[in-house]
């Protein structure tokens, strides 16, 4: 059933992009996450988060392609395709079967709809609003052995060694995640700058990932009148959904730091059994936290984002916390 919904949703997503809102002030978003293995910004991320330079495995990479558009003045939606790849650590990647005590391979493809509804509570030099964002993600992952995963395909293109363990990956055929995110933004405009405090909570349900999260962001921006959007932290991928889609005529920027603690009820990416050995390899932790620091720059209709995330251990036998990078590009039509 979920596969049918996924394929129908994918067709509607493509038709939507080709026939409706393109060219009417929407925003295309492309985000990529990659684990920091000592290749990018290692010294910077170590100085900010930890001394560990060899975090490995876990959320290995993510790809997010979305199209955001206005429904009404204060209501915006985003349709997106998302892929997340999770891998074991170290030499366990090359084992033919999953290793007890380490995460097993898993790869997901999902389609999502997020709709943000903004309610302005105070509009002056000190600005307050609240943003409610219900979201739904559906996906499908077949049960056949998948030695030739998307990750191995990319490794083949770049000449890197392929991983054997994909044949004993996690199996969970249907993916369904839904929930709601609530944020309040307190924004003070001081001369040519804006400072915002953004506490938020999120509640996620479904057969794949259930959790309650709370935390917030602190941001400093260079343009008080510009709506930089509301950031969201997720166990899968973090992104901005709400922007003022008017093109900027001048250069502007914002810096931010964020924190989220999640109380986990269930996580199929850690609790499901593997395809060949039929085992659950990890003992999930019920409390996980993310620390984020990043920057966005805007020029005309282009937005660039770079951030570093430090994630605490997700299962009891995990060797280290994880640090990964996110790079994002948005283009306003």
**Residue 327 sits in a domain of what CATH number?**
2.40.128.140
Q: What is the pTM of this model?
A: 0.82
> Any bridge partners for residue 200, and if so which?
183, 215
Q: Are 7 and 314 in contact (CB under 8 A)?
A: no
**294: Cβ contacts below 8 Å, ≥ 6 apart:** 255, 256, 257, 305, 306, 307, 308, 326
* Alpha helix stretches (DSSP H) within the chain: 2-19, 42-48, 150-158, 268-271
Q: What pLDDT was estimated at residue 119?
A: 92
Q: What are the backbone dihedrals phi and psi of residue 94, each rounded to the nearest 5 degrees, phi first?
A: -95, -5
Query: 99-117 burial, b for 16+ CB within 10 Å, e for fewer?
Result: bebbbbbbbbbbbbbbebb
Give pLDDT < 50 ranges for the chain: 1-6, 8, 15, 18-24, 38-40, 42, 45, 47-55, 145-147, 245
Angstrom distance (rounded) from CA 101 to CA 103? 7
Q: Is 32 helix (H, G, I), strand (E, B) or coil?
A: strand
Label the pairing between strands 193-205 and 209-221.
antiparallel
Question: How many domains in the chain?
Answer: 1
Q: What pLDDT was estimated at residue 38?
A: 46
Q: How far apart are the first and last CA of the chain?
A: 35
Q: What pLDDT was estimated at residue 299?
A: 82
Q: What pLDDT was estimated at residue 15?
A: 47
Q: What is the pLDDT of residues 2-35, one digit of tens each?
A: 444 445 455 555 545 544 444 445 778 887 777 6
Q: What pLDDT was estimated at residue 173?
A: 66
Tokens of 147: 């030695």
CA-wise closest residue to 81 among 63, 107, 106, 61: 63
Domain range enclosing 111: 2-332
Compute the half-sphere exposure of residue 89: CA atoms within 13 Å on the CB side of its CA: 19
Dihedral of the alpha carbons of 149, 151, 155, 161, in degrees to the nearest 10: -70
Q: What pLDDT was estimated at residue 218?
A: 93
Q: What pLDDT was estimated at residue 246?
A: 53
Q: Is 153 helix (H, G, I), strand (E, B) or coil?
A: helix
| CA distance to 175, 201, 211, 313, 314, per residue, from 263 (Å) | 20, 11, 5, 13, 11
Query: 183-206 burial, b for 16+ CB within 10 Å, e for fewer?
Result: bbbebebeeeebebebebebebbb
Label the pairing between strands 126-140 and 106-122.
antiparallel
Compute the half-sphere exposure of residue 153: CA atoms within 13 Å on the CB side of its CA: 6
Q: What pLDDT was estimated at residue 145?
A: 44
Query: Where are the strands (E) in the chain, listed by range?
Result: 27-35, 58-72, 75-87, 106-122, 126-140, 174-190, 193-205, 209-221, 231-232, 239-240, 252-267, 287-299, 302-311, 322-332
């Amino acid at each position: 059933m979920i596969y049918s919904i996924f394929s129908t949703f994918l067709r509607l997503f493509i038709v939507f992009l080709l026939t409706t809102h393109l060219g009417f002030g929407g925003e295309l978003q492309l985000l990529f996450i990659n684990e920091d293995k000592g290749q990018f910004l290692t010294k910077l991320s170590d100085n900010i988060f930890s001394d560990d330079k060899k975090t490995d495995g876990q959320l290995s990479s993510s790809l997010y392609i979305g199209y955001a558009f206005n429904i009404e003045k204060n209501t915006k939606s985003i349709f997106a395709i998302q892929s997340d790849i999770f891998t074991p650590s170290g030499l366990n990647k090359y084992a033919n079967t999953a290793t007890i005590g380490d995460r097993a391979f898993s790869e997901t493809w999902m389609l999502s709809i997020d709709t943000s509804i903004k309610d302005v509570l105070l509009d002056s030099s000190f600005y307050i609003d609240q943003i409610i964002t219900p979201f739904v993600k559906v996906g499908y992952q077949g049960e056949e052995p998948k030695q030739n995963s998307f990750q191995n395909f990319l490794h083949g293109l770049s000449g890197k060694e392929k991983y054997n363990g994909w044949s004993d990956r996690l199996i969970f055929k249907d993916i369904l995640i839904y929930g709601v995110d609530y944020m309040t933004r307190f924004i003070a405009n001081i001369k040519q700058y804006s400072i915002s405090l953004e506490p938020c909570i999120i509640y996620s349900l479904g057969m794949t990932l259930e959790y309650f999260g709370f935390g917030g962001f602190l941001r400093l921006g260079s343009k008080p009148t510009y709506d930089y959007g509301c950031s969201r932290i997720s166990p899968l991928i973090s992104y901005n959904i709400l922007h003022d889609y008017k093109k900027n005529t001048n250069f502007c920027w914002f810096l931010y730091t964020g924190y989220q603690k999640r109380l986990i009820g269930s996580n199929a990416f850690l609790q499901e059994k593997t395809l060949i050995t039929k085992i659950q390899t990890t003992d999930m932790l019920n409390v996980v936290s993310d620390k984020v620091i990043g920057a966005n720059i805007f020029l005309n209709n282009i937005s660039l984002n770079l951030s570093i995330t430090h994630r605490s251990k997700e299962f009891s036998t995990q060797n280290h916390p994880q640090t990964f990078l996110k790079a994002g590009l948005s283009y306003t039509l």
